[in-house]
Amino acid sequence: MFEDIICRGQFEYGVTVYPIYAHRDVDKKELYDEHVEKTWTIFKYLLESQEDIVRNLFEELKKEFSMSINYSEFKVILHDLVLFHDIGKVNPKFQVEKLGNKALRDIKMPKGTTTQHSYPGAFILTTKFLERYKVEDNLPILTIPYLILGHHTRLQNPHESCLESEKFEKPLITSLRLLKMFGFSDERLEELINRFGDEYGGLSKKFLDQLESTKSSSLSILYNLVYSFLVVADFIATSYAYNELEAVKNDLPKFNSRIDQNILKRMKEKFDKKQDEYRKEIDKNKLNRYRQEMLEEARESLRHALKSNKRVFYLKMPTSGGKTNTSLHLAGIYKVIFLDFKEKYIIPPY
């Protein structure tokens, strides 16, 4: 049934074939398969534009956690992330109440079924991982479903949002009801619940325990980066909901180079002007001198790192140390990209 939804935007229930919408607006509608194909087209383009960075981060992660999967398998996992990110929308309650899909009115869901679709997507993807991979040898992939969980809200911290926690009781029940609708027998559902509670719970705890002792930031950066790919791809694909896939393909170059040369020139001129004003103030207090020293140290460190062919960096400064100015300065000189991570969403917490 998953294949029918993902590949054809429909599923068969009883003797009837039902359409599954991803988006709908008055007389316009977009089937699920159309949305995920657009989302994957954009996601893949963004991924390939940063392929070296993603691959290097994965290889560092693979080494640190002794993972058994290779990079090609990891890309399959990312593909599944996109295919399943909105799978919870198949819920008849969601289709009828949120998307006005009257075709599913006859499928009655039990009382208490929610319309929240992110958790069911995260849960269903987790069950697939447990069945397909030896998760104990690839613990970092447990973070991937959390990207679905937060793709309409904010990046989730697995330390705070464990999928088996009590606060997700109703969405979990909804997820199980959907799986039953997909044809899962009572025996298979019971086995799945036990496996989720025992195996997933144990693996999740083991993974979080390992995070407490890790010194590397590779997972934090990769987690944030893939999340940004998913959110951007989903957002842009949604804006093309009622356009053909060809329109998305034609516009791909726009999605990764949205600052043209004229805007870049103006940004640089204004930044340089501010820097000139700042330099005149350096000697007026100690804080400004410390900021300048940190900037120069960061510039020298980055210069040496680039010569060593390193491509991932972590800029750490105290509050008010000038991280934004330093990042813009270094980006302008060395043409590097800086990702600004909020401390509370970093894994592990620093």
| For the chain, domain boundaries | 2-255, 261-345
2-255 classified as CATH 2.60.120: no
Quick one: which H or E segment has residue 32?
Answer: helix 32-49
pLDDT at 307: 78
pLDDT at 276: 82
Q: What is the dihedral of CA 34, 37, 38, 41, to 10 degrees?
A: -170
Say if CB 343 and CB 350 are below 8 A apart: yes
For residues 230-241, give the mean pLDDT.
96
pLDDT band at residue 336 using 50, 70 and 90 as cut-offs: low
pLDDT at 33: 96
Q: Which residues contact 57 (CB under 8 A, 6 or more apart)?
A: 218, 221, 222, 225, 312
Closest to 5 (Cα-Cα) out of 143, 178, 237: 178
Structure-block tokens of residue 96: 């009828």
pLDDT at 259: 63
pLDDT at 194: 84
For residues 130-143, give the mean pLDDT.
92
Q: How many CB atoms lie within 10 A of CB 82?
A: 25
pLDDT at 30: 97
Locus of tokens 């054809």: 8
Give dist(CA 18, CA 120) in Å, integer. 19
Q: pTM, whole model, 2 decimals? A: 0.79
For residues 321-348, give the mean pLDDT.
61
pLDDT at 339: 52
Residue 344 has pLDDT above 60, yes or no: no
Per residue in 239-298, pLDDT (tens digit) is 999 999 999 999 998 887 656 778 778 877 887 887 788 778 777 778 888 888 888 888
